[in-house]
Structure 1
């Protein structure tokens, strides 16, 4: 029985990694060493023919490749789009992706099997619009403190209106008011969690 050492990352790198490594690799080390190793004079004491020209061409080629590849490296990286294998999505990102995918599945199911029922059942139509809004929304704005402040202010305004309505109308069912206050509390909680 053979014993092998397990390597954590034994996945084949594909074609992208070698291209980027080749593009970013050191340039001209061997050619510069070869050009500099050319003797100044030949065995008979005469100068080596075109030594200065060889050194000049070598330096120019090295400089051009360094500049060219250095300037085009950002473009290459954008084109190749290497994936960071150590990248881990946050819970928030995973949660957002799952909720968006679930909304997409629900919208597709309703469009495919129940399109005529949307007008028949207003609650289904409302839920359908909620799913569509989830798909089209960009929840990145929730991370902005200004947005959170505005939304919190709106929720507070709604809360105060409900409390005043409950005080003014004595015949109003308090359970209904409490239900709506709980919904506002839930929205506030969601906002504080950034969801």
Structure 2
């Protein structure tokens, strides 16, 4: 039973009327509330407190602790970008040369591949370089914050479509969610 289910169960138990339509005490209302509370206490608190202890006793370890999720994600992105670039080069070389949009797509994919490769390299670095990654992520978050402020100003100017502004906001939000949480809280710049 999750936290939300516990709240819902308790709310349902507490919402039982004190008296029935016949003005008689609701049968076993207090018992129902007590049992609900005990079940929530046992399922949430007791299990939540004992689970880490039980895991330590059983010695459960990660199946593959050597490669972090971020490194796996960066490696997959890099491979997917390489496949896309190879496909463009092999199947659509004339379109890349002759069509501006397709050439722009190839350049964007190359930039993203370069970024993914650098990101993967940074994830494989030592502790000092990970601190640099935290700074990098902090700077990205700050840039996204400033961009959101600018979008707010643009919205007040009423010169641009709300739909276009929302699309830009969603892109910033999407990029922002890809930034891992930093280990240290850094002070925000103006």
Normalising to structure 2: TM-score of the pair?
0.49
Max Rg structure: 1
TM-score, normalised to structure 1, is: 0.48
